[in-house]
Chain A
Amino acid sequence: MKKILILGSGALKIGQAGEFDYSGSQAIKAFKEEKIETILINSNIATIQTSKELADKVYFLPVTTEFVERVIEKEKPDAIVLSFGGQTALNCGMELYKKGILKKYNVQVLGTPVSAIDLTEDREKFANHLRKIGISTPKSFAVTTIETGLKKAIEIGYPVMVRTGFSLGGQKSGVVENEKEFFSLAKEALAFSPQILVEKYFHHYKEIEYEVVRDLYDNCVTVCNMENFDPLGVHTGESIVVAPSQTLTNFEYHHLRQLSIKIVRSLGIVGECNVQFALNPNPKSENRNPKQTQNSNDKNSNRFDHSKFENSRIVSNFELRASNLDDHPVEYYVIEVNARLSRSSALASKATGYPLAYVAAKLILGKSLMEIKNQVTQIIQSFFEPALDYIVVKIPRWDMDKFKGTSEKIGSSMKSVGEIMAIGRTFEEAIQKGVRMLDIGVLGVTDNNFNLTTDEILAKIKQANSKRIFFITKALKLGITVQKIYELSGIDPWFLYRLQEIVKAEKEIVSVENKNFCSLQPEQLLRLKQLGFSDKKIGELIGKTEFEIRKLRNKWKLKPSIFQIDTMAGEFPAKTNYLYTTYNGGHHDVAPIGDKGVMVLGSGPYRIGSSVEFDWTCVNTALNLKKYGKKSIIINCNPETVSTDYDISDRLYFEEISFERVADIYEFENPSSVILSVGGQTPSNISKKIDKYGIKIIGTTATDIDKAEDRKKFSQLLDDLKIKQPVWNSFTEMEVALKFARDVGYPILVRPSYVLSGAAMSLCYNPIELKHFIEKASNINKKYPVTISKYMTNAREIEFDAVAEKGVVKVFAISNHIEHAGVHSGDATIVYPAERVRFFSGERMIEIARQLSKSLNITGPFNIQFMVKDNEVFVIELNLRASRTFPFISKVTGVNFAEVIVDSFFDKAKEQRIKYPNYVAVKAPQFSFARMEGADPALGVEMGSTGEVACFGDTAEEAYLKSLISTGLSLKNKSALISIGGDDFKLRFSESIWRLKNLGYTLYATKKTHLFLKTKGVRTKLVHKLYDKQSPTVIDLIEKRIVSLVINLSEDYNNEGSFKRVITDGYRIRRASIDNNIPLFTDLNSARFFVNALDRYNPPAGGKDLKIKSWDEYL
């Protein structure tokens, strides 16, 4: 084995996020240690795995069979690994295998056999397999008549779930308790669907998960088990999860553990696998897993017995357990098995300190678990199951507010965009830390000022949603019983009692002679801290500030203990640098690092607008501190990151990025300084407090940061420097605002300072929209002014990324957006080098950057967003921190900006001018609209993308096409639907339409577009909008997949009626395209760019013109 090809997971999207950067990075490290050459294909340029220090060769290319085959052809690897790049890599690998490509090039699949992967991916085959080895799976039958349905319902046992086959949205589905109910529902359902599914119904079952590793010698351990807070029915990625399980007895824990191992052995997994169970919290005797199920496996299990001692009857355990089933009734079902690294395995790694991906990588090379050293403790090997002496809580982070039209309900499909992991010695401590880590503005689980009636709250508890935990504590405050909440939600009373403990403690402190500061006793304060209350929350409850509580704590010497995560619960002295804080302790496991230490704050949970790109900068900053003899202390709380990996920093605190915790750690470690500018907005938000408290911030001073962040001060600075900016002002009265808007002219960009719900800003095209937005989404008054700025149409937006030292710009890079200004920079397609920026404008930008840098005395990273209109350069925004584009810029220029940041901190940054390249790189956004039911996929001023990719090319078009293919674009046929609003857009897109026509595309157009194009001599097929009530409609066209491309352009998506909650045809077209997985363009510029690219490269013809060149071949 000399050369291994690793498939990455591509862009971050809902359901497949940063965890695969972590697993891929660990795998590459593990392979490199064995002196194996590694080739990586991943289009996600912001990842750490695509760094120079990791894979020997990186291809920023789509992970699709076509591209991977061409890389294989070129690189001729000995083997390929599929299990480190999520579902994307697995699917691609399976296809390569099935098409015989791997065989053709003699490439071996390492790890779990392809046949096993295939088996786990096919629900029916897999269910049969499990049944064969005596493991229960949920029963499900498809029936076409009521009679057979009734029979099956009896076979399954009531209650059963009835679902309609072939219909979207779960119409006529429901739970039936008996024959009568079945009859009536089935009748209705069969009336409009030929088939119904009759399934086992799991009302409020527990969901339990095991992470299993197995080596080539059949040694097997379960690294971690986890229990979901939310019962079955809420996707595990949407659920709050704890590790280890809390409510399982020894029998349940080990019974399910043994079953997991049995499944993994039966599949011949080598590496990592996860098994998910549904477990009845209160098994009735008739549903219990029968004894014979446990016994019927003798023949199957011998397959993997290697030892002479075991040949006889390894399954005797099961017989033994079977005998105990009378004493230990159990009813479980296997609901899912993932034969690869998953989100759960990343979580399990971080929760236990067991580096699952690293170990899995070594295992697939044929090592045994005992041969792999425990990387965390450095003492023992890897055949063991971590013993935790703490509890871990994972909470998903949702961004539903960012998606117009979607609901906050959660269920069996994923909507969350990120997650946090909190560690404590009690559930109370961990859950309270956890909700704060989400960075959603709450101080603890008891933050719930909902203005709702009790009934409304109970309804919110019954229907799982993104804020359910806060509704639960609200209900507890109102005196609703744990039992009642359990009945509604199915959340185990164990968790509810813990929440009640928190609610009780809060009530006590508020009621007992509250408001009187002196009455707070040290024991009381300690108790509150042990229950996870923050200083700020305690202060709020008794009318004091966070600082005052902190003072009091310091006086009473109430400080958190620093504990290690050592995988062994303290049994052996471990050298681990993996830490957390707790008030349920009385000593520190480690000694302070002292002034050699530098703290680096991470970015917290991934969310819309802050994701892996900030982790890249954080990691690279931490790594480069070594150069200056400094020891890095990272604080972060996101288990999907590489920054929270065991070997990135000298010390890792899996902790809140809050003032309180940062100050606690600072006071303990006594480091020389803190870096706040490499973790995105979250650390920046606390810079003022940190500075005020006297903690030394490295880089640009807090006062100067404030000058850039305070709109008024910054605006004044720009005026002083004679730098242009779009006209703006803030208003406290509607009339004045309307007058201003009229004077500067619509459209305008509105930003309320207080947001009630929904969007934080909006583009308004007329006074009606402006009024509506302000009234609906916010308030306008003295306390909460609204900022309005002139919006320039058809302007170009430019990203300027740079690092300065003491006010002198040391390095910079300019890239331009494809979309016009107005599309959020996170959703924009970005091109480097900025081909569309004239020399003169570019020089002006550099000049502005130098001026700003000097006057703000910048040291460290900064990013300016410029707008160019009619060759005039305007400044939109300046951020005194590393921007989202830093990893992109670093990788496409070959200059590691994070390294320069660190150099600048130590006065060692060299001035360098980056040479104009002879290649082009294009970064494209990845959207996850398909996951957000009902959300409008039109681009706007609010960011909606969940991830990004970037590819290189000899031309921008080549790079763009590769990027688009990386985000999932595939054109199945040559036909497109075109629907364009407004004559201006129609005119400006007509050239592109000609090109499509010349490329042989069949074009369908809605009426106005059709007529317009007719006048231009372009023939299109007319399709009807829905309200025309004629067929074919646009929706038919999309749903029947007659078209494989949809271009829907509109100047003003708001005006289409989303305010009035009218569902427009435009919205329907966009939504249907997303729901049917058809490429959609809603921006004029990117649509034009795309057609140009098609014209030049024509990917349906095989895309052979798209070159297979590795990163180092470009740079």
Chain B
Amino acid sequence: MNAKLILKDGEIFEGQSFGYEEARSGELVFSTGMVGYPESLTDPSYEGQILVSTYPIIGSYGVPDKKSWESDRIHVSGLIVSQYIDTPSHFQNKMTLSQWLKNEKIPALEIKDTRFLTQKLRDGGAQLAKIVFDTSTPSTLLRTSLLSINFDDPNKKNLVAAVSTLRVSREGAGSKTVVVIDCGVKKNIIRSLLVRGVKVITVPWDYDIFTLNEKIDGVVISNGPGDPKMCDVTIETTKKIMTKKIPLLGICLGNQILALAAGGDTYKMKFGHRGQNQPCIMVGTKKCYLTTQNHGFAIGRIPKGFLPWFINANDDTNEGIIHNKLPFMSVQFHPEACPGPVDTGWIFDEFLKKI
């Protein structure tokens, strides 16, 4: 079925649909990862975004069982690839990508020149877009009204509220307890903590963790979608944690939240970092790590008392901060990987050493 990707600047791209046929809008972003589409699609940080895969051939190994996803559902608003593969081959394949997208009501298009889209976003910055369908075919007749959907700016919404858990949950056993503030947490953050033998309590983004009535040995502020400044409640909670000097690890959005809570500032990047090959240098060393990233905002002003911990080797942007005395640290990249290289898993160890 013929469909279109319409950009806010008016440019239109024709495509072949292979997902659910319902118009959707979102912020158009690209990711340069070559593997891991099931992980990316289920990453809550992509909430509200239409994802363009720069790797042209997608769907090759189908979709694995839910237990290896990064959350319970697909979070992207739409998916754009150059070639969709409907004949997956892998022993863990449970269904085709197309089937999955249809089940989850996510539109997806095959647009040949994804490189052009990428360059456009790179040069002009991320922009709003919508996927719409040809109304002439009967299957979409019922949904004609959806054609006229607006360009919704996801960054103006509190996306974190939309993806965060609604309840407190407890997993694992261990003498130490780590609270994970779920701003859209990827499951592998929790898995990474559990495997290190701690008890994990996951709480909603706006939960007052001090009502838990439990000894908290450490707090992880998770990744999540959108503008960190939307997470006012979490920022306030973070301030409290800092006054109590509880060891703190921020990841991705959590990194930005920590910066804001400590008096630093964040800004929206032109087109962000999305991919699995972002090099981060540990400041003051000759050590560099390859990391997975998925963010459109970054730390600008580093808060007082903190030092830059990592910087991006390509564009010198900040990739993490660490307090000069207290056990507060955060990283812009994803130490839990999934998708991407697993080179920075030691960040969790470093954090747990402080508790």
Q: What is the bound-complex CA distance between A492 and B91, given in angstroms?
A: 11
- Report B-chain residues with C-beta under 8 Å of the C-beta of A316: 196, 345-346, 348-349
Q: Is the CB of B116 within 8 A of A585?
A: yes
Is B122 positioned at the interface, with any CB of A under 8 Å from its CB?
yes
Is B245 positioned at the interface, with any CB of A under 8 Å from its CB?
no
Q: Is the CB of A387 within 8 A of B32?
A: yes
Q: What is the bound-complex CA distance between A321 and B337, given in angstroms?
A: 11
**Chain B: which residue is nearest A389 at the CB level?**
B54
The residues in A between 303 and 328 inclusive whose CB is less than 8 angstroms from any CB of B are 306-307, 309-310, 312-314, 316-317, 319-324, 327-328
- Nearest CB in chain B: distance from A472 CB, A: 15
Q: Is the CB of B350 within 8 A of A425?
A: no
Is A219 positioned at the interface, with any CB of B under 8 Å from its CB?
yes
Is B167 positioned at the interface, with any CB of A under 8 Å from its CB?
no
Contact of B68 among A251, A322, A561 (CB under 8 A): A251
Q: Is the CB of A327 within 8 A of B68?
A: yes
Number of interface residues of B (CB under 8 A): 68
- Report A-chain residues with C-beta under 8 Å of the C-beta of B61: 247-249, 494
* B-contacting 9-mer, from A570-578, A905-913, A1079-1087: A570-578
* B-contacting 9-mer, from A31-39, A378-386, A723-731, A760-768: A378-386
Is B240 positioned at the interface, with any CB of A under 8 Å from its CB?
no
Q: What is the bound-complex CA distance between A307 and B238, given in angstroms?
A: 29
Q: Is the CB of A383 within 8 A of B288?
A: yes
* B-contacting 9-mer, from A186-194, A253-261, A335-343: A253-261
Contact of B119 among A425, A497, A530, A570 (CB under 8 A): A570
Encode B207-249 as 1/0 by CB contact (under 8 A) with A. 0000000000000000000000000000000000000000000
* A-contacting 9-mer, from B72-80, B142-150, B252-260, B273-281: B273-281
Q: What is the bound-complex CA distance between A887 and B168, given in angstroms?
A: 75
Total number of residue pairs linking A and B with CB closer than 8 Å: 214
- Report A-chain residues with C-beta under 8 Å of the C-beta of B88: 494
Is A217 positioned at the interface, with any CB of B under 8 Å from its CB?
yes
Is A70 positioned at the interface, with any CB of B under 8 Å from its CB?
no
Encode A572-596 as 1/0 by CB contact (under 8 A) with B. 1100000000001111010000000
- Report A-chain residues with C-beta under 8 Å of the C-beta of B64: 249
Q: Is the CB of A312 within 8 A of B114?
A: no
Is A426 positioned at the interface, with any CB of B under 8 Å from its CB?
yes
- Nearest CB in chain A: distance from B205 CB, A: 25
Is B158 positioned at the interface, with any CB of A under 8 Å from its CB?
no
Is A218 positioned at the interface, with any CB of B under 8 Å from its CB?
yes
Q: Is the CB of B55 within 8 A of A219?
A: no
Is B34 positioned at the interface, with any CB of A under 8 Å from its CB?
yes
Is A246 positioned at the interface, with any CB of B under 8 Å from its CB?
yes
Is B38 positioned at the interface, with any CB of A under 8 Å from its CB?
yes
**Chain A: which residue is nearest B312 at the CB level?**
A380
Q: Is the CB of A368 within 8 A of B118?
A: no
- Nearest CB in chain A: distance from B233 CB, A: 30
The residues in A between 213 and 258 inclusive whose CB is less than 8 angstroms from any CB of B are 217-219, 221, 244-251, 253-254, 257-258
Contact of A250 among B36, B285, B349 (CB under 8 A): B36
- Report A-chain residues with C-beta under 8 Å of the C-beta of B281: 370, 383
Q: Is the CB of B279 within 8 A of A391?
A: no
* A-contacting 9-mer, from B129-137, B173-181, B187-195, B294-302: B187-195
By secondary structure, the A interface counts as loop
Q: What is the bound-complex CA distance between A426 and B60, given in angstroms?
A: 12
Q: Is the CB of A312 within 8 A of B35?
A: no
Q: Is the CB of A494 within 8 A of B122?
A: no
Q: Is the CB of B34 within 8 A of A307?
A: no
Q: Is the CB of B57 within 8 A of A383?
A: no
- Report A-chain residues with C-beta under 8 Å of the C-beta of B276: 385, 387
The residues in B between 256 and 287 inclusive whose CB is less than 8 angstroms from any CB of A are 275-279, 281-282, 285-287
Is A113 positioned at the interface, with any CB of B under 8 Å from its CB?
no
Contact of A370 among B87, B191, B275, B313 (CB under 8 A): B313
Q: What is the bound-complex CA distance between A219 and B288, given in angstroms?
A: 6
**Chain B: which residue is nearest A386 at the CB level?**
B277
Q: Is the CB of B60 within 8 A of A494?
A: yes
**Chain A: which residue is nearest B116 at the CB level?**
A587
Q: What is the bound-complex CA distance between A244 and B61, given in angstroms?
A: 14
Q: What is the bound-complex CA distance between A427 and B341, given in angstroms?
A: 25
Q: What is the bound-complex CA distance between A254 and B188, given in angstroms?
A: 14
Known A314-B346, A573-B123; contact A587-B113, beta-carbon cutoff 8 A = yes
Q: Is the CB of B118 within 8 A of A571?
A: yes
Q: Is the CB of B345 within 8 A of A317?
A: yes
Contact of B34 among A388, A494, A563 (CB under 8 A): A388
- Nearest CB in chain B: distance from A658 CB, A: 23
Known A320-B342, A327-B67, A388-B34; contact A247-B288, beta-carbon cutoff 8 A = no
Q: What is the bound-complex CA distance between A122 and B282, given in angstroms?
A: 37
Q: Is the CB of A387 within 8 A of B122?
A: no
- Report A-chain residues with C-beta under 8 Å of the C-beta of B8: none
Is A539 positioned at the interface, with any CB of B under 8 Å from its CB?
no
- Nearest CB in chain B: distance from A392 CB, A: 12
Q: What is the bound-complex CA distance between A889 and B145, given in angstroms?
A: 77
Known A312-B346, A569-B55; contact A250-B35, beta-carbon cutoff 8 A = yes
Q: Is the CB of A323 within 8 A of B191?
A: yes
Q: Is the CB of A569 within 8 A of B32?
A: yes
The residues in A between 358 and 396 inclusive whose CB is less than 8 angstroms from any CB of B are 368-370, 379-381, 383-391
- Report B-chain residues with C-beta under 8 Å of the C-beta of A283: 91
The residues in A between 417 and 476 inclusive whose CB is less than 8 angstroms from any CB of B are 425-427
- Report A-chain residues with C-beta under 8 Å of the C-beta of B339: 250, 254
Q: Is the CB of A387 within 8 A of B342?
A: no
Q: Is the CB of B83 within 8 A of A426?
A: yes
**Chain B: which residue is nearest A571 at the CB level?**
B32
Q: What is the bound-complex CA distance between A187 and B116, given in angstroms?
A: 65
- Nearest CB in chain A: distance from B195 CB, A: 4
Q: Is the CB of A247 within 8 A of B89?
A: yes
Q: Is the CB of A369 within 8 A of B288?
A: yes
- Report B-chain residues with C-beta under 8 Å of the C-beta of A381: 279, 313-314
Is B71 positioned at the interface, with any CB of A under 8 Å from its CB?
no
Q: Is the CB of B57 within 8 A of A570?
A: no
Q: Is the CB of B89 within 8 A of A497?
A: yes
- Report B-chain residues with C-beta under 8 Å of the C-beta of A569: 32, 54-55, 115, 118, 275
Is A568 positioned at the interface, with any CB of B under 8 Å from its CB?
yes
The residues in B between 14 and 47 inclusive whose CB is less than 8 angstroms from any CB of A are 30, 32-36, 38-39
* 9 A-B pairs closest in CB distance: A250-B36, A497-B87, A569-B54, A387-B32, A317-B345, A494-B89, A586-B113, A570-B118, A323-B195
Apart from A250-B36, A313-B346, A569-B275, list 9 A-B contacts with CB within 8 A. Answer: A254-B339, A307-B282, A313-B349, A317-B346, A391-B56, A425-B83, A494-B60, A494-B89, A571-B54
B residues whose Cβ falls under 8 Å from a Cβ of A: 30, 32-36, 38-39, 54-57, 60-61, 64-65, 67-68, 82-83, 85, 87-92, 112-116, 118-119, 122-123, 191-192, 194-196, 275-279, 281-282, 285-288, 290, 313-314, 337-343, 345-346, 348-350, 353
List 26 interface pairs A-B (beta carbons < 8 Å), by A numbering.
A219-B287, A250-B35, A253-B35, A253-B36, A254-B337, A283-B91, A307-B285, A317-B345, A320-B342, A370-B279, A370-B313, A380-B313, A384-B278, A385-B290, A387-B55, A389-B32, A425-B112, A427-B57, A494-B88, A569-B54, A571-B54, A571-B275, A584-B113, A586-B116, A587-B113, A587-B115
A residues whose Cβ falls under 8 Å from a Cβ of B: 217-219, 221, 244-251, 253-254, 257-258, 261, 281-283, 306-307, 309-310, 312-314, 316-317, 319-324, 327-328, 368-370, 379-381, 383-391, 425-427, 492-494, 497, 530, 561, 563, 568-573, 584-587, 589
